[in-house]
Structure 1
């Protein structure tokens, strides 16, 4: 007889390997595209080598997911965030990706991204209560691999 167990925290290594293998097997049986995620980053350091801005992203299935965009408070308003986003967009165009996408919170920077041409594609209200989680995307080209 099977039983459901509840735990908090990550699965152990063996369970995680079994879970990953199960997903991969199912995806292959469904003829799904290969899951080959690549991590990318753009960083800015000051003269002393201190990190003052960074953009991290994941490339998967012809879309660049902007995971984190951070600029040190002392450098906000200098255009550094726009420069990092421009670098990511240039990379997406150079690689002939379909576009860029990201999540932001209503208290973070939805207007900043919209000013860069991103459009809202989904909104999760009351996450957390009184706020929204917002999905934004920007198409930069038609995917060359689409049918």
Structure 2
């Protein structure tokens, strides 16, 4: 190596650090695979007092939609909010030219929910967390 560098453990990284890493990855990826066409895709579920009681956080890029976070507070489950939010997110993703959705979920979370709506498991990580599985799912739009 021509220059000496220090490796620092970042226990609580700030946005300067994470933004620098993200920018480096983005630049490299775009050089390799073309423009991301990146956009966040977020839907919130709010109660009568505008308190957030659920929602979906994802992103679209390279004709894919990645669902990063999806949660509905217990009192609002089984009322159709989850399926409505998922459908709205898929519709928005389609309008952005997305062809495929992917996500991961745990065996104690919502793999059955996603499979009910046409998602299929394409991989699993056993014993993560211990005693459970992590499933990777996808769906063509």
Q: Do they superpose with TM above 0.5?
A: yes
Structure 2 stretches lacking a partner, 5+ long: none
State the SS of the aligned residue for 2:33.
coil
**Given the superposition, is the C-alpha separation of residues 14 and 101 from structure 1 closer, same or farther in structure 2, using an over 3 Å criterion?**
closer
Separation in 2, partners of 1:114, 1:107: 14
**Aligned residue for 2:106?**
105
Which digits, 9 at most, give the CA deviation of each residue in 1:58-83, with x for residues without a partner? 11111111111111111111111011
The runs of at least 4 consecutive aligned structure 1 residues that moved more than 6 Å come to: none
Separation in 1, partners of 2:15, 2:59: 25
Separation in 1, partners of 2:73, 2:123: 28
State the SS of the aligned residue for 2:108.
coil
Q: Name the TM-score, length of structure 2 as normaliser.
A: 0.81
Q: How many residues align?
A: 138
Separation in 2, partners of 1:55, 1:90: 13
Verify: 1:44 aligned to 2:45, yes or no: yes
Moved more, 70-79 or 32-41: 32-41
Which digits, 9 at most, give the CA deviation of each residue in 1:112-140, with x for residues without a partner? 10001000111111111211111111101
Q: By how many angstroms is 1:28 displaced?
A: 5.4
Verify: 1:94 aligned to 2:88, yes or no: no
Separation in 2, partners of 1:16, 1:41: 20
Separation in 1, partners of 2:19, 2:96: 32
Q: By how many angstroms is 1:11 displaced?
A: 7.6
- Superposed CA RMSD in Å reads 2.5
Q: Does the CA contact (< 8 Å) of 2:122 and 2:136 recur in 1?
A: yes
